[in-house]
Structure 1
């Protein structure tokens, strides 16, 4: 079974199919789980991804690449290996990669979350012999509020700000988190976004996904229009003129790291909301158990703790070193834009 997946210095490799999944070095054939920069990298000769992910890859990697797409549940044979993509629930277009060869099944989950956020699709548990799981929030302290509960808290904060004529500024990753916040706050206030978010919005809209109405920050001549409304920017803009010039702003970070007491104070912002596009501790455990996998490979995050716990529960688990990381840390934009 282990021979269906190999963990190499280039990435996760399927020797029978002669392809890699989310490689971190250029390869001949790359199967991509989703469009975040730590999973989709430039330089490969051929890319296979979900239909919704292609416009994001075209924006990030260039339109002159060789892209091939699949829908969820569609099957393709690559050198005799049966390959299909299934919802991961992480962001729009995110997919788990299911591999089947001579009766053996392996699933590479990429990044995933288990609660339906209304825009990213619903995570689909898949039975398999081997399962590759992330562990970004693989500690018991990370247990998210429900989608409804966390957005109720966010809406209450917006209403509080509006009582004092304040603009509610949300710091969120441009791909995934920003669109989720837009969807959750649709109809609550007018939405303004930084150009980095707008660029991702346009890519997602090209995939046929409808997003709530929004205005682009640098296209607004009278910034007083933003007062009492909602503005979404990226973390790279904290402390820059982009935020400072928003009228009477109150700033909140939306990230799973806000679950830990003191994170908001460390970031010197007004509020923090534990909104994550990754599974929490309970979601990770639930997902692993649902696969009924004989072997589990734990990648980026708290892999040591999570793998140890799985072994204590009688599930054979191994830590795997990868170059995947926290996409929120990897966010980069031109800080001088819109200032």
Structure 2
């Protein structure tokens, strides 16, 4: 096998490197900067150059190497290149080629072009390693423009009722897409410190994003009148939210496709805005690679793998330590709005 599934992560023995390892290693190729794929402790990191400032913000000073998409690097004769995954800014698929065999590790991806993350690029290969976060037919997303319009309409309704609109969205990926959705309203957007940190890292790297204002302990409560606030999941229900009263909460997550999840989260509004591929996207991505064998990682891997086998595509499940950023945020929230971790 060109890539082995080990207790440290996906390992290419011929090139002596790992892809998104979850235990410390010497050489790590990183698909993107979410915490379940990019962990602290590796001796050397290789990623897309737009991922580097995000890794720096989250992991601090390390040995980083940034490259562009489709810019080959050779490790012990193994050809490695990165290709757009469309998941978040800088997210990449990893193509590994050695002695005529090609494997592609997708990391996390979505097939709808969100306008800021780079359009997903199907990469022909012999073996494809795919996520399956939303690998069930029930998960079929509405087009992004439709969801963006729903977002703006909700804000406008809250404004007329003199309520603040608090969006719960992951600080890296979802928050940046929300800013683009809200831009036409031409209203100030206030953000939690975790969102601010990622915003600053991206803007400093040259990414064009709408301006935001950081919420600090000194920000007067009177500032928030029919205001727009973006906060990570860890802030939801915390004392930090008190100063926004009266407010409504809108949760942005693919899990909101299932109505019961909205009730369980005590959300006032739900937007099924996901940075992962839906069921049709997963199927189209797999088929576009032309892969003879497919390994399915985190998510509904059992159902998705079984369906691929039924369609005549050899598939097997693989256990990894990926997954979770749709539901959790690694930053903790305190009364003074400081955040734990690197972000």
- Which category of TM-score, normalised to the shorter sequence, fits these structures? over 0.9
What is the root-mean-square deviation of aligned Cα atoms in Å? 1.2
Alpha-carbon distance between aligned partners in 1 of 2:208 and 2:77, rounded to the nearest angstrom: 37
Q: For residues 4-153 of structure 1, what are the structure 2 equivalents within 5 Å?
A: 4-63=2-61, 65-153=62-150
Question: Which shows bigger deviation, 301-310 or 213-222?
Answer: 213-222
Residues 227 and 247, structure 1, Cα contact 8 Å, conserved in 2: no
Q: After superposition, give the CA deviation of every residue in 1:31-53 in whole Å (9 maximum; x if it has no partner).
A: 00000010011111111001000
Identify which of 263, 269, 272 aligns with 1:271: 269
Report how far residue 61 of structure 1 moved. 1.2
Residues 149 and 181, structure 2, Cα contact 8 Å, conserved in 1: no
Normalising by structure 1, report the TM-score: 0.97
Q: Which runs of 5+ in 1 are unaligned?
A: none
Identify which of 152, 155, 160 aligns with 2:152: 155
Residue matched to 1:256: 254
Alpha-carbon distance between aligned partners in 1 of 2:204 and 2:211, rounded to the nearest angstrom: 15
Question: Which shows bigger deviation, 326-335 or 208-217?
Answer: 326-335
Q: For residues 292-307 of structure 1, what are the structure 2 equivalents within 5 Å?
A: 292-307=290-305
SS at match of 1:4: coil
Alpha-carbon distance between aligned partners in 2 of 1:89 and 1:14, rounded to the nearest angstrom: 24
Report how far residue 219 of structure 1 moved. 6.7
Alpha-carbon distance between aligned partners in 2 of 1:220 and 1:262, rounded to the nearest angstrom: 37
Residue matched to 1:324: 322
Q: After superposition, give the CA deviation of every residue in 1:28-86 in whole Å (9 maximum; x if it has no partner).
A: 100000000100111111110010000111111111x1111100111111110111100
Report how far residue 224 of structure 1 moved. 2.6
Q: Which runs of 5+ in 2 are unaligned?
A: 338-343
Number of residue pairs matched by the alignment: 336
Q: After superposition, give the CA deviation of every residue in 1:299-319 in whole Å (9 maximum; x if it has no partner).
A: 000000000000000000110
Q: For residues 210-229 of structure 1, what are the structure 2 equivalents within 5 Å?
A: 210-218=208-216, 221-229=219-227
Alpha-carbon distance between aligned partners in 2 of 1:197 and 1:216, rounded to the nearest angstrom: 9
Normalising by structure 2, report the TM-score: 0.95
